[in-house]
Chains A and B, each alone.
Chain A
Protein backbone atom coordinates (compact mmCIF):
# COMPACT_ATOMS: atom_id res chain seq x y z
CA UNK A 1 0.00 0.00 0.00
CA UNK A 2 1.35 3.43 -0.90
CA UNK A 3 2.87 5.40 1.95
CA UNK A 4 0.67 8.45 1.40
CA UNK A 5 -2.44 6.34 1.82
CA UNK A 6 -1.04 4.81 4.99
CA UNK A 7 -0.23 8.34 6.23
CA UNK A 8 -3.82 9.43 5.61
CA UNK A 9 -5.11 6.39 7.49
CA UNK A 10 -2.82 7.18 10.43
CA UNK A 11 -3.91 10.85 10.44
CA UNK A 12 -7.59 9.88 10.36
CA UNK A 13 -7.08 7.38 13.16
CA UNK A 14 -5.29 9.98 15.30
CA UNK A 15 -8.12 12.49 14.81
CA UNK A 16 -10.96 10.12 15.65
CA UNK A 17 -9.00 8.66 18.57
CA UNK A 18 -9.28 11.88 20.56
CA UNK A 19 -12.80 12.84 19.48
CA UNK A 20 -15.31 10.33 18.15
CA UNK A 21 -13.92 7.24 19.87
CA UNK A 22 -14.22 8.75 23.37
CA UNK A 23 -17.99 8.65 23.04
CA UNK A 24 -17.84 4.87 22.65
CA UNK A 25 -15.34 4.11 25.39
CA UNK A 26 -15.25 0.57 26.81
CA UNK A 27 -15.24 0.99 30.62
CA UNK A 28 -13.54 4.35 30.12
CA UNK A 29 -10.88 3.00 27.74
CA UNK A 30 -10.63 3.48 23.99
CA UNK A 31 -8.47 1.39 21.63
CA UNK A 32 -5.09 2.80 20.70
CA UNK A 33 -5.66 3.08 16.95
CA UNK A 34 -2.12 4.26 16.18
CA UNK A 35 -0.70 1.19 17.92
CA UNK A 36 -3.13 -1.15 16.14
CA UNK A 37 -2.28 0.34 12.76
CA UNK A 38 1.44 0.15 13.52
CA UNK A 39 1.21 -3.53 14.45
CA UNK A 40 -1.00 -4.37 11.47
CA UNK A 41 0.96 -2.54 8.79
CA UNK A 42 4.37 -3.61 10.12
CA UNK A 43 3.26 -7.22 10.30
CA UNK A 44 1.50 -7.44 6.96
CA UNK A 45 3.87 -5.39 4.85
CA UNK A 46 7.60 -5.86 4.42
CA UNK A 47 8.60 -2.21 4.78
CA UNK A 48 8.90 -0.17 7.95
CA UNK A 49 7.19 3.05 6.88
CA UNK A 50 4.40 2.45 9.39
CA UNK A 51 6.98 2.71 12.19
CA UNK A 52 8.08 6.18 11.06
CA UNK A 53 4.46 7.29 10.76
CA UNK A 54 3.66 5.94 14.22
CA UNK A 55 6.72 7.77 15.53
CA UNK A 56 5.46 11.05 14.04
CA UNK A 57 1.91 10.65 15.29
CA UNK A 58 3.22 9.52 18.66
CA UNK A 59 4.93 12.89 19.08
CA UNK A 60 1.80 14.75 17.96
CA UNK A 61 -0.27 12.70 20.39
CA UNK A 62 2.10 13.44 23.27
CA UNK A 63 2.05 17.17 22.48
CA UNK A 64 -1.77 17.14 22.52
CA UNK A 65 -2.59 14.78 25.38
CA UNK A 66 0.43 14.32 27.58
CA UNK A 67 2.83 16.23 29.80
CA UNK A 68 5.84 14.21 28.65
CA UNK A 69 6.77 14.26 24.97
CA UNK A 70 8.43 11.34 23.26
CA UNK A 71 7.14 8.48 25.42
CA UNK A 72 4.55 7.25 22.92
CA UNK A 73 7.01 7.46 20.04
CA UNK A 74 9.63 5.42 21.88
CA UNK A 75 6.95 2.90 22.78
CA UNK A 76 5.83 2.60 19.16
CA UNK A 77 9.45 2.29 18.06
CA UNK A 78 9.99 -0.56 20.50
CA UNK A 79 6.83 -2.40 19.43
CA UNK A 80 7.64 -1.86 15.75
CA UNK A 81 11.16 -3.18 16.23
CA UNK A 82 9.88 -6.30 18.00
CA UNK A 83 7.30 -6.94 15.27
CA UNK A 84 9.99 -6.65 12.57
CA UNK A 85 12.19 -9.05 14.52
CA UNK A 86 9.53 -11.71 15.11
CA UNK A 87 7.28 -11.47 12.07
CA UNK A 88 9.15 -14.17 10.10
CA UNK A 89 8.11 -16.63 12.80
CA UNK A 90 4.36 -16.35 12.23
CA UNK A 91 2.12 -16.83 9.23
CA UNK A 92 0.42 -13.53 8.42
CA UNK A 93 -2.56 -15.25 6.83
CA UNK A 94 -3.51 -16.79 10.17
CA UNK A 95 -5.71 -14.48 12.24
CA UNK A 96 -4.17 -15.89 15.41
CA UNK A 97 -0.86 -14.28 14.48
CA UNK A 98 -2.54 -10.85 14.39
CA UNK A 99 -4.18 -11.57 17.74
CA UNK A 100 -0.86 -12.62 19.31
CA UNK A 101 1.01 -9.59 18.01
CA UNK A 102 -1.88 -7.30 18.93
CA UNK A 103 -2.10 -8.58 22.49
CA UNK A 104 1.62 -8.71 23.15
CA UNK A 105 2.23 -5.38 21.41
CA UNK A 106 -0.39 -3.72 23.62
CA UNK A 107 1.15 -5.15 26.79
CA UNK A 108 4.69 -4.18 25.81
CA UNK A 109 3.64 -0.65 24.86
CA UNK A 110 1.61 -0.03 28.03
CA UNK A 111 4.27 -1.38 30.38
CA UNK A 112 6.98 0.62 28.61
CA UNK A 113 4.74 3.71 28.79
CA UNK A 114 4.16 3.19 32.51
CA UNK A 115 7.90 2.80 33.12
CA UNK A 116 8.81 6.04 31.37
CA UNK A 117 5.96 8.14 32.82
CA UNK A 118 6.47 6.87 36.35
CA UNK A 119 10.13 7.87 36.38
CA UNK A 120 9.08 11.49 36.78
CA UNK A 121 5.66 11.44 38.40
CA UNK A 122 5.19 8.16 40.29
CA UNK A 123 1.57 8.52 39.35
CA UNK A 124 0.08 5.06 38.92
CA UNK A 125 0.53 1.92 40.91
CA UNK A 126 1.81 -0.96 38.73
CA UNK A 127 -0.85 -3.36 40.00
CA UNK A 128 -3.55 -0.88 38.99
CA UNK A 129 -2.08 -0.61 35.50
CA UNK A 130 -1.87 -4.40 35.25
CA UNK A 131 -5.52 -4.69 36.25
CA UNK A 132 -6.44 -2.44 33.30
CA UNK A 133 -4.46 -4.45 30.76
CA UNK A 134 -7.24 -6.93 29.89
CA UNK A 135 -9.44 -3.96 28.91
CA UNK A 136 -6.70 -2.40 26.80
CA UNK A 137 -5.92 -5.74 25.13
CA UNK A 138 -9.57 -6.57 24.37
CA UNK A 139 -10.29 -3.13 22.92
CA UNK A 140 -7.15 -3.24 20.74
CA UNK A 141 -7.81 -6.81 19.61
CA UNK A 142 -11.29 -5.88 18.38
CA UNK A 143 -9.67 -3.26 16.17
CA UNK A 144 -6.88 -5.67 15.12
CA UNK A 145 -9.41 -8.26 13.95
CA UNK A 146 -11.26 -5.63 11.90
CA UNK A 147 -7.99 -4.45 10.34
CA UNK A 148 -7.01 -8.07 9.61
CA UNK A 149 -10.17 -8.76 7.64
CA UNK A 150 -9.75 -5.48 5.75
CA UNK A 151 -6.08 -5.88 4.89
CA UNK A 152 -5.53 -9.61 4.44
CA UNK A 153 -6.62 -9.59 0.80
CA UNK A 154 -4.16 -6.81 0.04
CA UNK A 155 -1.06 -8.44 1.58
CA UNK A 156 1.93 -7.91 -0.66
CA UNK A 157 3.69 -11.02 -1.93
CA UNK A 158 7.48 -10.82 -2.04
CA UNK A 159 8.97 -10.36 -5.51
CA UNK A 160 11.56 -13.09 -5.00
CA UNK A 161 8.77 -15.64 -4.50
CA UNK A 162 8.98 -17.78 -7.66
CA UNK A 163 5.19 -18.31 -7.69
CA UNK A 164 4.54 -14.55 -7.74
CA UNK A 165 2.91 -13.18 -10.87
Chain B
Protein backbone atom coordinates (compact mmCIF):
# COMPACT_ATOMS: atom_id res chain seq x y z
CA UNK B 1 0.00 0.00 0.00
CA UNK B 2 1.48 3.33 -1.05
CA UNK B 3 1.52 5.97 1.68
CA UNK B 4 0.19 9.43 0.78
CA UNK B 5 2.92 12.04 0.48
CA UNK B 6 2.00 13.83 3.72
CA UNK B 7 2.24 10.59 5.70
CA UNK B 8 5.68 9.90 4.22
CA UNK B 9 6.88 13.28 5.45
CA UNK B 10 5.40 12.69 8.90
CA UNK B 11 7.04 9.27 9.11
CA UNK B 12 10.38 10.72 7.97
CA UNK B 13 10.08 13.48 10.58
CA UNK B 14 9.27 11.06 13.39
CA UNK B 15 12.10 8.70 12.40
CA UNK B 16 14.56 11.64 12.26
CA UNK B 17 13.53 12.82 15.72
CA UNK B 18 13.85 9.30 17.14
CA UNK B 19 17.27 8.75 15.58
CA UNK B 20 18.58 12.12 16.74
CA UNK B 21 17.23 11.53 20.25
CA UNK B 22 19.07 8.20 20.43
CA UNK B 23 22.30 9.83 19.23
CA UNK B 24 21.81 12.63 21.76
CA UNK B 25 21.28 10.24 24.68
CA UNK B 26 24.35 8.22 23.70
CA UNK B 27 26.28 11.47 23.45
CA UNK B 28 25.24 12.51 26.98
CA UNK B 29 26.47 9.17 28.22
CA UNK B 30 29.84 9.38 26.43
CA UNK B 31 30.35 13.11 26.94
CA UNK B 32 33.18 14.26 24.66
CA UNK B 33 33.91 10.73 23.47
CA UNK B 34 34.20 9.68 19.86
CA UNK B 35 33.55 6.67 17.66
CA UNK B 36 35.47 5.56 14.57
CA UNK B 37 32.84 7.15 12.33
CA UNK B 38 33.11 10.44 14.20
CA UNK B 39 36.90 10.33 13.93
CA UNK B 40 36.70 9.70 10.19
CA UNK B 41 34.30 12.62 9.72
CA UNK B 42 36.55 14.96 11.72
CA UNK B 43 39.58 13.85 9.76
CA UNK B 44 37.84 14.49 6.45
CA UNK B 45 36.58 17.89 7.57
CA UNK B 46 40.00 18.81 8.99
CA UNK B 47 41.61 18.00 5.63
CA UNK B 48 39.44 20.63 3.95
CA UNK B 49 39.48 23.15 6.78
CA UNK B 50 43.29 23.26 6.98
CA UNK B 51 43.98 25.05 3.69
CA UNK B 52 40.85 27.18 4.07
CA UNK B 53 42.00 28.32 7.49
CA UNK B 54 45.41 29.31 6.12
CA UNK B 55 43.75 31.40 3.41
CA UNK B 56 41.43 33.07 5.90
CA UNK B 57 44.27 33.85 8.31
CA UNK B 58 46.23 35.33 5.41
CA UNK B 59 43.29 37.55 4.46
CA UNK B 60 42.70 38.54 8.07
CA UNK B 61 46.35 39.42 8.72
CA UNK B 62 46.50 41.39 5.48
CA UNK B 63 43.36 43.38 6.27
CA UNK B 64 44.50 43.93 9.84
CA UNK B 65 47.65 45.55 8.52
CA UNK B 66 45.59 47.94 6.42
CA UNK B 67 42.89 48.90 8.90
CA UNK B 68 44.96 48.91 12.10
CA UNK B 69 48.14 50.36 10.67
CA UNK B 70 49.00 52.64 13.59
CA UNK B 71 48.37 49.89 16.14
CA UNK B 72 50.51 47.49 14.12
CA UNK B 73 53.38 50.01 13.98
CA UNK B 74 53.21 50.58 17.75
CA UNK B 75 53.05 46.86 18.41
CA UNK B 76 56.03 46.37 16.10
CA UNK B 77 58.14 48.91 18.02
CA UNK B 78 57.20 47.30 21.32
CA UNK B 79 58.08 43.83 20.00
CA UNK B 80 61.46 45.05 18.71
CA UNK B 81 62.30 46.29 22.22
CA UNK B 82 61.13 43.04 23.78
CA UNK B 83 63.12 41.08 21.19
CA UNK B 84 66.39 42.76 22.08
CA UNK B 85 65.83 42.03 25.80
CA UNK B 86 65.01 38.41 25.03
CA UNK B 87 68.10 38.01 22.84
CA UNK B 88 70.30 39.04 25.79
CA UNK B 89 68.49 36.62 28.08
CA UNK B 90 68.77 33.89 25.46
CA UNK B 91 72.53 34.34 25.33
CA UNK B 92 72.70 33.71 29.09
CA UNK B 93 70.45 30.65 28.73
CA UNK B 94 72.71 29.25 26.00
CA UNK B 95 75.63 29.40 28.38
CA UNK B 96 73.58 27.62 31.03
CA UNK B 97 72.44 25.09 28.42
CA UNK B 98 76.00 24.15 27.62
CA UNK B 99 76.66 23.65 31.32
CA UNK B 100 73.47 21.61 31.67
CA UNK B 101 74.43 19.41 28.73
CA UNK B 102 77.78 18.65 30.38
CA UNK B 103 76.01 17.69 33.59
CA UNK B 104 73.56 15.48 31.68
CA UNK B 105 76.42 13.63 29.98
CA UNK B 106 78.03 13.22 33.36
CA UNK B 107 74.78 11.87 34.87
CA UNK B 108 74.47 9.31 32.05
CA UNK B 109 78.07 8.24 32.55
CA UNK B 110 77.35 7.70 36.25
CA UNK B 111 73.99 5.97 35.46
CA UNK B 112 72.05 8.58 37.44
CA UNK B 113 68.32 8.76 36.59
CA UNK B 114 67.43 11.79 38.73
CA UNK B 115 67.14 14.39 35.97
CA UNK B 116 63.79 14.10 34.15
CA UNK B 117 63.49 14.51 30.36
CA UNK B 118 62.11 17.81 29.14
CA UNK B 119 58.67 17.64 27.60
CA UNK B 120 58.44 17.40 23.81
CA UNK B 121 56.47 20.18 22.15
CA UNK B 122 54.53 19.93 18.89
CA UNK B 123 53.49 23.13 17.08
CA UNK B 124 50.07 23.27 15.45
CA UNK B 125 47.75 25.61 13.56
CA UNK B 126 44.17 26.23 14.62
CA UNK B 127 42.09 25.20 11.63
CA UNK B 128 38.55 25.57 12.91
CA UNK B 129 36.82 27.25 15.75
CA UNK B 130 33.23 27.26 16.92
CA UNK B 131 32.01 30.80 16.26
CA UNK B 132 29.30 30.66 18.90
CA UNK B 133 30.07 30.91 22.59
CA UNK B 134 28.55 27.55 23.47
CA UNK B 135 31.64 25.38 23.58
CA UNK B 136 35.14 26.78 23.80
CA UNK B 137 36.44 24.07 21.53
CA UNK B 138 38.63 24.41 18.49
CA UNK B 139 40.41 22.02 16.14
CA UNK B 140 44.14 21.89 15.41
CA UNK B 141 45.87 20.22 12.49
CA UNK B 142 48.02 17.68 14.34
CA UNK B 143 46.92 14.51 16.00
CA UNK B 144 47.89 10.98 16.94
CA UNK B 145 50.54 10.79 14.20
CA UNK B 146 52.59 13.34 16.22
CA UNK B 147 52.08 11.48 19.48
CA UNK B 148 49.24 13.68 20.74
CA UNK B 149 46.93 12.07 23.26
CA UNK B 150 43.95 13.06 25.36
CA UNK B 151 44.72 15.48 28.24
CA UNK B 152 47.93 16.83 26.69
CA UNK B 153 48.36 20.49 27.61
CA UNK B 154 48.05 23.15 24.90
CA UNK B 155 49.87 26.49 25.17
CA UNK B 156 50.77 29.43 22.98
CA UNK B 157 53.38 32.17 23.19
CA UNK B 158 51.69 33.95 26.10
CA UNK B 159 50.18 31.25 28.28
CA UNK B 160 47.96 28.26 28.85
CA UNK B 161 45.30 27.66 26.21
CA UNK B 162 43.67 24.39 27.24
CA UNK B 163 43.92 20.63 26.86
CA UNK B 164 43.33 17.97 24.23
CA UNK B 165 39.95 16.24 24.61
CA UNK B 166 40.03 14.10 21.51
CA UNK B 167 42.52 13.33 18.77
CA UNK B 168 42.82 11.33 15.58
CA UNK B 169 44.96 11.15 12.50
CA UNK B 170 45.71 14.73 11.46
CA UNK B 171 43.36 16.48 13.90
CA UNK B 172 42.80 17.15 17.59
CA UNK B 173 40.05 18.89 19.52
CA UNK B 174 41.17 21.36 22.17
CA UNK B 175 38.99 22.69 24.96
CA UNK B 176 39.99 26.10 26.30
CA UNK B 177 40.59 26.86 29.97
CA UNK B 178 37.76 29.41 29.76
CA UNK B 179 35.31 26.52 29.43
CA UNK B 180 33.47 25.92 32.68
CA UNK B 181 34.12 22.19 32.60
CA UNK B 182 37.91 22.69 32.51
CA UNK B 183 39.39 23.27 35.99
CA UNK B 184 43.04 24.21 36.50
CA UNK B 185 45.05 24.36 39.72
CA UNK B 186 47.18 27.50 40.01
CA UNK B 187 49.74 29.16 42.23
CA UNK B 188 50.70 32.80 42.52
CA UNK B 189 54.00 33.52 40.79
CA UNK B 190 55.42 35.77 43.54
CA UNK B 191 54.57 33.28 46.32
CA UNK B 192 54.12 29.65 45.36
CA UNK B 193 52.52 28.76 48.68
CA UNK B 194 49.36 30.57 47.54
CA UNK B 195 47.38 27.92 45.68
CA UNK B 196 43.89 27.79 44.24
CA UNK B 197 41.58 26.40 41.55
CA UNK B 198 40.36 28.32 38.50
CA UNK B 199 37.71 27.57 35.85
CA UNK B 200 35.71 29.35 33.16
CA UNK B 201 33.04 31.75 34.37
CA UNK B 202 30.63 31.05 31.49
CA UNK B 203 31.34 34.49 30.01
CA UNK B 204 34.74 33.92 28.32
CA UNK B 205 36.61 34.80 31.51
CA UNK B 206 38.13 32.94 34.45
CA UNK B 207 37.09 32.76 38.08
CA UNK B 208 38.64 30.82 40.89
CA UNK B 209 39.15 30.55 44.61
CA UNK B 210 42.11 30.25 46.93
CA UNK B 211 42.42 27.05 48.94
CA UNK B 212 43.36 29.13 51.95
CA UNK B 213 40.71 31.73 52.77
CA UNK B 214 43.37 34.00 54.30
CA UNK B 215 45.75 33.86 51.31
CA UNK B 216 47.38 37.21 50.60
CA UNK B 217 46.56 37.33 46.88
CA UNK B 218 46.24 40.83 45.44
CA UNK B 219 45.05 42.44 42.22
CA UNK B 220 47.79 42.21 39.61
CA UNK B 221 49.22 38.91 40.78
CA UNK B 222 50.23 36.60 37.96
CA UNK B 223 48.93 33.05 38.21
CA UNK B 224 50.74 30.01 36.84
CA UNK B 225 50.00 26.30 36.77
CA UNK B 226 51.11 24.01 39.56
CA UNK B 227 52.28 20.45 39.10
CA UNK B 228 48.94 19.19 40.49
CA UNK B 229 46.79 17.78 37.71
CA UNK B 230 47.50 17.29 34.04
CA UNK B 231 49.17 20.62 33.23
CA UNK B 232 52.96 21.03 33.51
CA UNK B 233 54.16 23.45 36.14
CA UNK B 234 54.91 27.12 35.51
CA UNK B 235 52.67 27.98 32.54
CA UNK B 236 51.07 31.41 32.83
CA UNK B 237 47.28 31.39 33.19
CA UNK B 238 46.46 35.05 33.69
CA UNK B 239 46.43 38.04 35.98
CA UNK B 240 44.18 38.65 38.97
CA UNK B 241 41.77 41.49 38.25
CA UNK B 242 39.52 41.27 41.33
CA UNK B 243 39.67 39.68 44.80
CA UNK B 244 36.57 39.13 46.91
CA UNK B 245 35.99 37.31 50.19
CA UNK B 246 32.79 35.23 50.24
CA UNK B 247 31.36 35.18 53.76
CA UNK B 248 29.07 32.23 52.96
CA UNK B 249 31.77 29.84 51.79
CA UNK B 250 34.62 31.53 53.73
CA UNK B 251 36.69 31.38 50.56
CA UNK B 252 38.62 34.10 48.79
CA UNK B 253 37.32 34.30 45.22
CA UNK B 254 39.43 35.75 42.42
CA UNK B 255 38.52 37.00 38.98
CA UNK B 256 41.26 36.45 36.44
CA UNK B 257 42.00 38.03 33.06
CA UNK B 258 43.40 35.22 30.90
CA UNK B 259 46.82 35.82 29.36
CA UNK B 260 45.68 34.27 26.11
CA UNK B 261 43.31 36.13 23.79
CA UNK B 262 40.80 33.36 23.07
CA UNK B 263 39.08 35.38 20.33
CA UNK B 264 42.16 35.22 18.14
CA UNK B 265 44.25 32.05 18.43
CA UNK B 266 46.04 30.97 15.28
CA UNK B 267 49.05 28.97 16.41
CA UNK B 268 49.46 26.78 19.49
CA UNK B 269 51.89 24.22 20.85
CA UNK B 270 50.99 20.89 22.41
CA UNK B 271 53.14 19.63 25.27
CA UNK B 272 53.43 15.86 25.06
Contact = CB atoms under 8 A, between A and B. Distances in A.
Contacts of A18: 49, 128-131, 139
A5 interface: no
Contact of A16 (B32, B52, B60, B165): B52
B127 interface: yes
Given A63-B38, A123-B181, A128 B263 contact: no
A69 B33 CA distance: 10
A71 B128 contact: no
Nearest to B138: A65
A48 interface: yes
Nearest to A55: B16
Q: Which of B49, B129, B132 has the most CB of A within 10 A?
A: B132
Interface string B42-69: 1001001100110111011000000000
Interface string A99-125: 000000000000001001101110111
A132 interface: yes
B49 A19 contact: yes
A66 B31 CA distance: 10
Contacts, number: 124
A28 B133 contact: yes
A20 B52 contact: yes
Contacts of A136: 132
Given A20-B56, A62-B27, 5 more contacts: A66-B135, A66-B137, A68-B28, A77-B20, A136-B132
30 contacts: A16-B52, A18-B131, A19-B128, A21-B131, A23-B57, A28-B204, A29-B131, A32-B132, A60-B45, A62-B27, A63-B38, A64-B41, A64-B45, A64-B128, A65-B129, A65-B130, A66-B130, A67-B27, A67-B137, A70-B24, A70-B27, A71-B24, A74-B24, A77-B20, A113-B134, A120-B28, A121-B31, A123-B179, A123-B180, A128-B202
